[in-house]
Structure 1
Amino acid sequence: MASNHRKRQLASERQLKALLQETERLREENAVLRIQASTSGPPRRQRSRGQVANSRPEPESIYPGTAGAIPGHAT
């Protein structure tokens, strides 16, 4: 039954090779899409990844339309 084991091993190796090729293709496609997204206007989710710990978003991003407003001072 050694040949049956060898067939399975070869099939697994072929499958692994195909998956590695697909992974590489997807990485390249992802890089292209990132470039397209970064050059096609403002990002939709700017601070979703890589945000620095303890950094605070600008109040304008939390409360749109409040730029320049002084907190606690209603007019």
Structure 2
Amino acid sequence: MQVGSVCTRQVVTIDAGSTVAEAACRMRDHPVGSLVVKRAGQLSSLAGVFRDSDSARFPGFGLGSWSRAVDSTRLS
């Protein structure tokens, strides 16, 4: 079996300057566990991947921590 036969075809993206809260909402709205992070205004410029486990590093989902930009977290 090849990877292409089981991978997700629709890729959900978010701009690198988006907040963690925006990323969490986007993952909720498009039931996915990760987002491809792109540099703002550059469709083909990959900045990294934001996973649901990355959002877990912001305990309590408080507004202070959730307002941090996605690109300020560790991207893999």
Q: TM-score, normalised by structure 1?
A: 0.19
More strand by share: 2
**Bigger relative contact order (CA 8 A; separation at least 6):** 2
More helix by share: 1
Q: Which has the larger radius of gyration?
A: 1
